[in-house]
Amino acid sequence: MNMTASNSILIVDDTPNNIKILLDVLNNVGYEVSVAKSGEIALEKLPFIQPDLILLDVMMPGIDGFETCRCLKADENTKNIPVIFMTALSDSVNKLAGLRMGAVDYITKPIEIEEVLARINIQLKLKNTQQALINEIEERRQTEAKLKEALLDLRHTQTQLVQAEKMSSLGRLVAGIAHEINNPISFIYGNLRHTHQYAQELIELLQLYQRKFPTSDSEIQAKSEEADLEFMLNDFPKLLASMKVGIERIREIVLSLRVFSRLDEAGLKEVDIHQGLDSTLTLLEHRLKANSQASNIEVIKDYGNLPLVECYAGQLNQVFMNILNNAIDALLEEPQKQAIPTIRISTRVTDDQHISIRIKDNGAGITVDIIQQIFDPFFTTKPVGVGTGMGLAISYQIVVERHQGILECRSRPGEGTEFLIQIPLNQKPIQSLTQLNIESQKAMGELIVSEPV
């Protein structure tokens, strides 16, 4: 079976008669043939030609076939070219030495045409089959790479859709709650001042009656004792003051909801990062307070002197919410016996161009294998139905992609967990959607795991 004309052969032999016989035979069956009359010439030619097979004479002046073969196999560009030795030697030791050097076969001189063609065809067929397998493997590798890229794009799109829906749902929910609560609270708060004024005037009027008419009717006296009038007169102003504190607290919560969602600030805007952190803490205050199952969680604020930061405020507040919620979960799930459950929040300007926000708890900490997956979409350590595994994945995209920043998790078992957020003071526009996709793929495929400070 002859190979195609695309196969080329290099003959290395110093005997003209052998060269002529091989040239005639190989050209007749369609091979492209080159000739070198010594090992030195062959080695000089090889950088400029790429034969599919080399027929190499063993006994030649200068460097012999064995040495030529050794040089071929030592060169990265020629080591995979199959070599068939041509020799009159019948010594099996010499044949074995040649095979150990990398030769694939032997042709014994004097040359038998049928033998030459048969051995050449076998080796070229093997080489072509091997190359086909290599090509197939490469095609599969490229296909797998494209599938992986497509999967990353899909995961990226899924995460963006979940984030968009989550923010949209949160925005609608907050808008509804803020509107429904704000109207009646504003009515109550606006009238509370008048209520306090009227009550004070009525109390003063009643006290004036008591001074002017110290002796009262027995029925009035009985009713005063039954109502405990003296206590009522002392307690009523306190009651109104408590109501005012409660109303102001509700107004503060409504304001925190509006600050947290930033419904009117969907685009880039310079904001007070501390205000966003405080509003998030206000919304989580019910989880920080002690109850029958857990003790009070202490929040330590170590705020630096931050300027206004250009960012997507609502999305960044969502990052704070996700990380703080996880910190609270960690402290509630495995409370520390030896220390007060604590969350420390610190902010700093790092290099006049960036700010850093560190949120650290003194919980049980997490292992390296979990850290390596913590930002992956749908990864969660919580029970089914409790965690979606999207909170930190969305947070990673918000910080890394939307704000061109850094989000790292640092933890050791028994030493708590710290999240580091670093974003620039001013945002630079991302050049193109292609660049955004590249950065997204890197973000989803890579995770910085470092030791705690």
Residue 359 clears pLDDT 90, i.e. is over it:
yes
- DSSP assignments along 376-413, one per residue: STT--SSPTTT--S-HHHHHHIIIIIIS--EEEEEE-T
Residue 325 contacts residue 391 (beta carbons within 8 Å): yes
Residue 174's pLDDT band (cuts 50, 70, 90): low
- Region for 262 from its dihedrals, namely left if φ exceeds 0, alpha if ψ lies in -120 to 50, beta otherwise: left
Q: What is the mean pLDDT of residues 345-371?
A: 91
Q: What is the pLDDT of residues 395-442, one digit of tens each?
A: 888 899 889 999 999 998 888 899 999 999 998 765 443 444 444 444
User: What is the structure's pLDDT at 438?
Assistant: 42
Residue 453 contacts residue 348 (beta carbons within 8 Å): no
C-alpha to C-alpha distance for 49 and 77, rounded to whole angstroms: 11
Residue 394 contacts residue 401 (beta carbons within 8 Å): no
| Domains (range + CATH), the chain | 8-111 (3.40.50.2300), 266-453 (3.30.565.10)
C-alpha to C-alpha distance for 299 and 121, rounded to whole angstroms: 80
Provide the pairing of β-strand 354-361 with 53-57: unpaired
Q: Which of 204-218, 239-253, 336-350, 372-386 has the lowest mean pLDDT?
A: 372-386
Return the SS3 of 421: strand
Count of Cβ atoms closer than 10 Å to residue 157 Cβ: 12
For residue 110, say if its preceding peptide bond is cis, omega within 30 degrees of 0. Answer: yes
Residue 277 clears pLDDT 70, i.e. is over it:
yes
C-alpha to C-alpha distance for 142 and 151, rounded to whole angstroms: 14
User: What is the structure's pLDDT at 131?
Assistant: 80
C-alpha to C-alpha distance for 125 and 121, rounded to whole angstroms: 6
361: its two tokens: 């708890």
- Region for 102 from its dihedrals, namely left if φ exceeds 0, alpha if ψ lies in -120 to 50, beta otherwise: left
User: What is the structure's pLDDT at 421?
Assistant: 96
Average pLDDT value over all residues in the chain: 80
Residue 411 contacts residue 371 (beta carbons within 8 Å): yes
Q: Is the entire prediction scored with pTM above 0.85?
A: no
User: What is the structure's pLDDT at 5?
Assistant: 47
Q: Which of 2-11, 53-62, 254-263 has the highest mean pLDDT?
A: 53-62
C-alpha to C-alpha distance for 68 and 402, rounded to whole angstroms: 60
CB proximity list for 35: less than 8 A, separation 6 or greater: 10, 11, 12, 13, 19, 23
Residue 310: its H or E element: strand 309-311
Residue 178's pLDDT band (cuts 50, 70, 90): low
C-alpha to C-alpha distance for 321 and 326, rounded to whole angstroms: 9
Higher pLDDT, 276 or 386: 276
Residue 306 clears pLDDT 90, i.e. is over it:
yes
C-alpha to C-alpha distance for 237 and 242, rounded to whole angstroms: 9
Phi, psi of 96 (to 5 degrees): -65, -40
**Alpha-carbon torsion, ordered 189, 190, 195, 201, to 10 deg:** 130
Rg over alpha carbons for the chain, rounded to the nearest Å, is 42
- DSSP assignments along 7-53, one per residue: -EEEEE-S-HHHHHHHHHHHHHTT-EEEEESSHHHHHHHTTT---SE
Q: What is the pLDDT of residues 42-101, one digit of tens each?
A: 998 888 888 989 998 888 888 888 888 989 888 888 888 899 988 876 655 566 777 788
Residue 449 clears pLDDT 50, i.e. is over it:
no
